[in-house]
Amino acid sequence: MEKENRFIRILITHRYAALCLFCCLLYLTNLGGYRLFDVDEPRYAETARHMVETGDYVVPVFNGAYRFEKPVLSYWLIAASYHLFGVNEWGARFPSAVAALGTVLLSCLLAGRLWGAPTGLAAGVILACCLQFISLGRWAITDMHLSFFVSASLVLFYLGAAAEGGKKCRAYYLGSFACSALAVLVKGPVGFVLPVSIAFGYILLSGRVRESLARIPLVRGSLVLCLVALPWYVLVTLRSDFEFFRVFIIQHNFQRFFGDVAPGGQHIEPFYYYLPCLLLGIYPWSFFALQAIIRPVHRGLKQWKTERRLTGKAAFPLLWCGLVLIFFSLSRAKLPTYITPAFPPLAILIAGYFHELAAASSGRRSGAAILLPVLLCLFAASALAVFLIVGAEKIAPFELGTLPQLTTLAVICGPLGALVLVIRRRLTGAFIFQILGQALFALLIALSILPVVSDFRQEPQKRLTERACAWLGNNGTLAAYRYRKTALSFYSQRVVLYLEADHQGEATARLPGPLAVITREKYRAELARKFPSLDILAEDEGLILMAAGE
């Protein structure tokens, strides 16, 4: 027991270094060991590659057309990574892994300020190994970048609000404005709306509105925000003849929030959609999350009735998590990745809940409060294990081998070991065992699950793309018939012509040079009728490559 306590003390003392090593294990292991997954990863990867190739870092271009669905900062981060590591899968995903690590460290910092260093370490670990961060920390998309800059803005705001005043306080606030501006460069107005709404809500609920607003350098902060964010927005709007404003601001912000992006809607989900997404994404801490939210909500309501203000330690992370959830729930277009900024405060709340349990006078009472969530977690893991053993091979369209058994072992060992240790009232040991089990699951995802899925989904199209490019040389046209996969553009490093069923063969026949077309096997006869001159060049796992010309 003494050795265990000494080890924990060392981890707490060196918590930031320990979290860095832990996150490197979770997010960097085999990061480039599998192909980019359609459809989002190749879009960001190829747009950044085009910037590096052309030297134009102002106007994002994908597959020969403007790419205005998102602002520019994520492309810049990936392009910088390419300069360090080369144009490859590792380089495309590395910024997301770094952003995940940075968000974990920020959560550790804020939780440490609220409840002390041990709780800070717990918050960092809880966030690092939750399912949402294990997934998005290895994925080349913008959501983890947004989460980092929003978290940085809010943590710096809280540090400024907690400071006594002077230059240090102003520096925190100005840093908060700068990080919000960077969030605007990642994903647009939401990078400003979220931090400002949460910060103002906290000031309003604290009951010290005038005093708090007087401390914030609003004029200088607004100037910093404009100087960081506006130049690129102005340049790209002018360079694109206001096409950027129409596509990004109008279509992908206002229309996506209030209405439909495409005919029939795009990602339209009900209001409550994000509640199960939040609980699933925070796994294996899902059943603690409910308690971690309900307790401070109940305590806050009691304080508000008597004092008309909220001053508890959980008030800021609770408001942060709640407003992110409400904001994105109000939007008609919904995706599970959108609420990633809600996970840092949720991890902080869970760590604070554990802190309060550990500080309770009765160890038996703490153990009983933890026992039910651990049992529910074990039940959920067991249900998944049964599905993997019984039904996974029937659903998967490829050979799984021993993967279901290995996944079952990884999923169930953490909750099972934690339950045994909770029964023995070794709560710290139970927490560590749950973390180790989740880390094992994350490593299995990185080393086995993702590569296997990649070999089935992505590798055949990459092989055919390489074969087509070798046949075409520097001339001709690479096309895809009823096969709209964005990875073709990244791996071919050329503009791909996407053909649909209503496309007329006569128009394609007028294209200069040879033509190579990738499609699915089931469209072979249909494609041959439209383009009689095409001959089969190669076949690979349900895909075919047909070519015509010199």
Residues 315 and 377 in one domain: no
Residues 306 and 413 in one domain: no
Least confident stretch, 71-75, 321-325, 398-402? 398-402
- Cβ neighbour number for residue 97 with a 10 Å cutoff: 24
- Cβ neighbour number for residue 299 with a 10 Å cutoff: 15
The pLDDT of residue 1 is 46
- Confirm if 79 and 57 have CB atoms less than 8 A apart: yes
Domain end (from 441, 456, 471): 456
Across 214-235, average pLDDT = 95
Residues 354 and 396 in one domain: no
- Confirm if 162 and 113 have CB atoms less than 8 A apart: yes
Across 288-313, average pLDDT = 87
Residue 24 C-alpha from the chain's centroid: 16
Query: Which structural domain, as residue segments, surrounds residue 441?
Result: 362-456
Q: What angle do CA 175, 124, 10 make, to 5 degrees?
A: 110
The pLDDT of residue 80 is 97
Q: pLDDT tens digits, residue range 511-529?
A: 667 889 999 999 998 888 8
**List of E strands, 459-530:** 477-481, 496-499, 515-520
Write down the pTM of the prediction.
0.93
Across 467-482, average pLDDT = 90
Dihedral angle over CA of 290, 295, 298, 303, nearest 10? -150
Q: What angle do CA 480, 484, 486 make, to 5 degrees?
A: 100
Residues 108 and 188 in one domain: yes
Q: Residues of the chain with pLDDT > 90: what percent?
A: 63
The pLDDT of residue 251 is 76
The pLDDT of residue 532 is 84
Residues 411 and 485 in one domain: no
Q: Residue 114 and residue 371: Cα distance in Å, rounded? A: 26
Which pair of structure tokens corresponds to residue 482?
A: 């009823």
Q: pLDDT tens digits, residue range 402-426?
A: 888 888 888 899 999 989 988 888 8
**Average predicted confidence (pLDDT) for the chain:** 89
Domain end (from 307, 327, 358): 358
Q: Residue 2 and residue 24: Cα distance in Å, rounded? A: 29
Residues 301 and 368 in one domain: no
Residues 366 and 380 in one domain: yes
Q: pLDDT tens digits, residue range 49-104?
A: 999 999 999 999 999 999 998 999 999 999 999 999 999 999 999 999 999 999 99
H/E element, 66: strand 65-66
- Confirm if 18 and 439 have CB atoms less than 8 A apart: no
Give the pLDDT band (50/70/90) at residue 507: low
Using the predicted structure, report yes or no on whether residue 506 has a pLDDT greater than 60: no
Across 304-323, average pLDDT = 89
Q: Residue 46 and residue 61: Cα distance in Å, rounded? A: 9
Q: What is the DSSP string of 137-186?
A: TTS-SSHHHHHHHHHHHHHHHHHHHHS-SSHHHHHHHHHHHHHHHHHHHH
Residues 229 and 188 in one domain: yes
Across 130-134, average pLDDT = 96
Using the predicted structure, report yes or no on whether residue 534 has a pLDDT greater than 70: yes
The pLDDT of residue 262 is 47
| CB neighbour burial string for 505-532, b if at least 16 within 10 angstroms, e if fewer | eeebeeeeebbbbbbeeebbeebeebbe
Residues 290 and 369 in one domain: no
3-state class of 361 per DSSP?
coil
Give the chain's domain count.
Answer: 3
Residues 133 and 229 in one domain: yes
The DSSP bridge partners found for residue 333 are: 268
SS3 per-residue string spanning 317-345: HHHHHHHHHHHHHHCCECCHHHHHHHHHH
Domain end (from 319, 341, 358): 358
Residues 327 and 390 in one domain: no
Give the pLDDT band (50/70/90) at residue 504: low
Using the predicted structure, report yes or no on whether residue 263 has a pLDDT greater than 50: no
Residues 353 and 444 in one domain: no
Using the predicted structure, report yes or no on whether residue 264 has a pLDDT greater than 50: no
